[in-house]
């Protein structure tokens, strides 16, 4: 059902955990739907220096979370905001059609984290 | 890698003795039971011996057994067969909210055809609400269909009590015994049913064969028309090798029933106890004791079933889950929803269905694997320790 790369990210997820004093946190999904994701980011000079996640959900939810942390680190905020759900799925070698909508939340999570960071920056200003 | 199969509610391996019994019926005794020559007569003889075997197992007469392609067909024949034949008397059917899709979707189909169906709820243990059932009975009720034991949570239903209600009002009673048959005693007179569905592949027999018991005098309409096979209730050349295998599986199940039930009950209770002792925030779904000897259904807070299933599969363990995320419909198990569980509880559910050949050593291995997998997923979960899913 899942590609080799999905299974790799699912069974050896990268960057699991929370970042203490994260610059931004994105929370998407909810347990009722069966998928919920928290993305934590560190930002230095407009660049994502660290991205971590915590996810409740199926194999696809965990794999996409892990994948996006690898895709996002080192990118500028603008570049990171351009990452789409499809980009994550493609990078993973595809996802089953039924999982494309419900479990492919990581891009939304990252965007939410960046928005959270920007909101906090605005408050500081 | 060690492989542990604990999904016997889905299907079972065919017993080698069953395979041996079947083999001659592919190449040597291959006749069509409708043929008058000796090839045909040998097939007929095997067919009727098999019918006797299955009938004897449930306390029925051989002529009350109709061989089918399995549980789903048996359920369809029972429900639609009664509905179509008795619609002049009434068009109301009663069933429960926790039935197998073979019943629920057949009833839904009949609703589209103008029949009226009442779905009686179950309590939090998964036992059908007898008061609601009583209230549901109407003058135009022609059929009650309630499963003998639930396929997800293993809860055993009070069929003989339902039978008393049905008999008072002369309503036909059908039970889907696909999960109970071969695991606990099933006797049509003790249960007081007019029809009972059975399946071969759940009891170490081949797939593609099963039977419907139909009490003599029951007015049923055939669904498949053609030759006069199965007393004209199910046209089509009989699947002799499959039927012989099914009958052998029934014979073996009858021989082992008491020992197997004792063995699996011990493993079941050991598994439940050890999981509860070693993992926090776990609940058992279904009745604690009034359940099939081989059924364990647990829900683990803060994590999702498909993830658990995949990690366990990597450890060679085969089980199933009621999580929406593993289903094509993306809906959580209708049974878990019907017994009052919230979607987030159903998402974290695992069904473990034991078999006769599972061992205590395997149970211990599964408990250890669960401790590791649950720990791993909870460490990844954003809700673990932050909110209660109870």
Which domains, from first to last, does chain B contain?
4-10+257-384 (3.90.1150.10), 16-252 (3.40.640.10)
CA distance B347 to A93: 26
pLDDT at B30: 96
pLDDT at B326 (0 to 100): 66
Q: Residue A1 and residue A96: Cα distance in Å, rounded?
A: 7
B290 confidence band (pLDDT: 50, 70, 90): very high
* Average pLDDT, integer, range A92-113: 90
Closest-CA residue of chain B to A27: B382
Contact of B358 with B267, CB cutoff 8 Å? yes
Q: What is the pLDDT of residue B138?
A: 98
Length of chain A: 125
Q: How far apart are CA A73 and CA A113, in angstroms?
A: 13
B252-to-B24, B174, B212 alpha-carbon distances in Å = 19, 25, 19
Residue B358 CB burial class (10 angstroms; 0-12, 13-18, ≥19): buried
Number of domains making up chain A? 1
Which of B307, B330, B344 faces A31 most closely, judged by CB atoms? B344
In sequence order, the β-bridge partners of residue B198 are B211
pLDDT class of A13 with cuts at 50, 70, 90:
very high
- Would the pLDDT of A98 be above 80? yes
Which residues, in sequence order, are CB contacts of A58 under 8 Å at separation 6+? A34, A35, A99, A103, B304, B306, B307, B323, B325, B326
pLDDT of residue A120 exceeding 90: yes
Q: Which domain holds residue A53?
A: 4-121
Q: Which residues are paired to A40 by β-bridges?
A: A25, A52
Among candidates A27, A59, A98 on the partner chain, residue whose Cβ is nearest the Cβ of B307: A59
For the beta carbon of residue B341, count every other beta carbon within 10 angstroms.
22
Catalytic annotation, pick one of A102, A108, A118, A120: A102
* Interface mutation vs chain B, best among A57, A64, A98, most B CBs within 10 Å: A57
Q: Determine, for residues B323 and A58 on separate chains, whether the beta-carbon distance falls below 8 Å.
A: yes
pLDDT of B89 reads 97
Q: Work out the average pLDDT over B154-176.
A: 98
Alpha-carbon span B69 to A113, nearest angstrom: 54
Q: Is the dihedral of CA B5, B8, B14, B18 positive or negative?
A: positive
Nearest residue of A to residue B331 by CA position?
A: A33
Mean pLDDT of B287-302: 96
Residue of A7, A18, A53, A56 to mutate for B, most B C-beta atoms under 10 A: A56
ipTM associated with this complex: 0.94
Q: For residue A103, name the pLDDT band (cuts at 50, 70, 90).
A: confident
Residue B30 sits at φ, ψ, to 5 deg, of -100, 5
Q: Quick check: B387 pLDDT over 70? A: no
CA separation for the pair B233, B231 (Å, rounded): 5
State the average pLDDT for chain A: 94
Is residue B287 within 8 Å of residue B295, measured between CB atoms? Answer: no
| Catalytic residue list contains A33 | yes
Cα gap B228→B52, rounded to integer Å? 19
Give pLDDT, residue B388. Answer: 46
Q: Say whether B272 sits in a helix, a strand or coil.
A: helix
Please give the pLDDT value at position B390. 39
The predicted model scores a pTM of: 0.94
pLDDT digits (tens, 9 = 90+) for A41-83: 999 999 999 999 999 999 999 999 999 999 999 999 999 999 9
Task: Indicate the range of B80-89, B183-192, B292-301, B316-325 predicted with least confidence.
Answer: B316-325
Among candidate residues A1, A17, A18, A33, the one labeled active-site is A33
Chain A residue with CA closest to B347: the answer is: A34
Q: Which residues of A touch B (CB under 8 A)?
A: 2, 7, 10-11, 13, 16, 27, 31-38, 54-59, 61-62, 98, 102-103
Polymer length of chain B: 390
> In chain A, which residue's Cα lies nearest the Cα of B328?
A98
- What CA–CA distance (Å, rounded) separates A61 from B306? 10
| Number of continuous H segments (helices) and E segments (strands) in chain B | 13, 13
Residue A55: exposure state from Cβ atoms within 10 A (0-12, 13-18, ≥19) = buried
B325: annotated active-site residue: yes
pLDDT at B389: 43
The minimum CA-CA distance between B309 and chain A, rounded to whole Å, is 9
Percent of chain B with pLDDT over 70: 97
B219 touches chain A (CB under 8 A): no
- CATH of residue A17's domain is 3.90.1010.10
Whether chain A has a CB inside 8 Å of the CB on B389: the answer is: yes
Tell me the pLDDT of chain B averaged across its residues: 95
* B344 at A interface, C-beta within 8 A: yes
Contact B293, B265 (CB under 8 A): yes
Does residue B133 carry a pLDDT above 50?
yes
Flag if A27 and B382 touch (Cβ within 8 Å): yes
pLDDT (0 to 100) of residue B386: 65
């Amino acid at each position: 059902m899942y590609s080799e790369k999905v299974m790799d990210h699912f069974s050896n997820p990268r960057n699991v955990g929370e970042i203490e004093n994260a610059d931004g946190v994105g929370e998407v999904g909810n347990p009722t739907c069966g998928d919920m994701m928290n993305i934590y980011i560190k930002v230095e000079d407009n660049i994502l220096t660290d991205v971590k996640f915590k996810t409740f959900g199926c194999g696809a939810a965990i794999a996409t979370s892990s994948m996006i942390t690898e895709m996002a680190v080192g990118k500028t905020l603008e570049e990171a905001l351009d990452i789409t759900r499809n980009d994550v799925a493609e990078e993973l070698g595809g996802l089953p059609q039924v999982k494309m909508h419900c479990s492919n939340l990581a891009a939304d999570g990252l965007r939410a984290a960046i928005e959270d960071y920007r909101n906090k920056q605005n408050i500081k200003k | 890698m060690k492989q542990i199969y604990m999904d016997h509610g889905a299907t079972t391996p065919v017993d080698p003795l069953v395979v041996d019994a079947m083999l001659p019926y592919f190449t040597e005794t291959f006749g069509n039971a409708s043929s008058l020559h000796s090839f045909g007569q040998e097939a007929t003889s095997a067919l009727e011996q098999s019918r006797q075997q299955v009938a004897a197992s449930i306390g029925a007469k051989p002529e009350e057994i109709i061989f089918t392609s399995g549980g789903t067909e048996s359920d369809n024949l029972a429900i639609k067969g009664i509905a179509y034949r008795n619609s002049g008397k009434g068009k109301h059917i009663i069933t429960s909210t926790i039935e197998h899709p073979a019943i629920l979707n057949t009833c839904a189909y009949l609703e589209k055809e103008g029949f009226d169906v009442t779905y009686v709820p179950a309590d939090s243990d998964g036992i059908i609400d007898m008061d609601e059932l009583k209230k549901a009975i109407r003058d135009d009720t022609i059929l009650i269909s309630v499963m003998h034991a639930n396929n997800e949570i293993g809860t055993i239903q009070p069929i003989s009590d339902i039978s008393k209600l049905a008999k008072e009002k002369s309503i036909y009673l059908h039970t889907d015994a696909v999960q109970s048959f071969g695991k606990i005693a099933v006797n049509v007179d003790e249960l007081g049913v007019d029809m009972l569905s059975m399946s071969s592949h759940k009891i170490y027999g081949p797939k593609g064969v099963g039977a419907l018991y139909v009490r003599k005098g029951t007015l049923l309409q055939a669904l498949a028309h053609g030759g006069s096979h199965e007393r004209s209730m199910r046209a089509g050349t009989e699947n002799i090798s499959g039927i012989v295998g099914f009958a052998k599986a029934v014979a073996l199940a009858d021989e082992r029933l008491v020992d197997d039930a004792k063995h699996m009950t011990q493993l079941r209770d050991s598994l439940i106890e050890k999981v509860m002792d070693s993992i926090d925030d776990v609940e058992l779904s279904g009745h604690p004791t009034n359940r099939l000897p081989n059924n364990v259904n647990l829900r683990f807070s803060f994590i999702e079933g498909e993830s658990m299933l995949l990690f366990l599969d990597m450890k060679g363990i085969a089980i199933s889950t009621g999580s929406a995320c593993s289903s094509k419909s993306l809906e959580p198990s209708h049974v878990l929803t019907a017994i009052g569980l919230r979607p987030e509880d159903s998402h974290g559910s695992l069904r473990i269905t034991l078999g006769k050949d599972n061992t205590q050593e395997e149970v211990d291995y599964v408990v250890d694997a669960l401790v590791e997998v649950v720990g791993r997923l909870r460490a990844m979960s954003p809700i673990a320790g932050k909110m209660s899913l109870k």
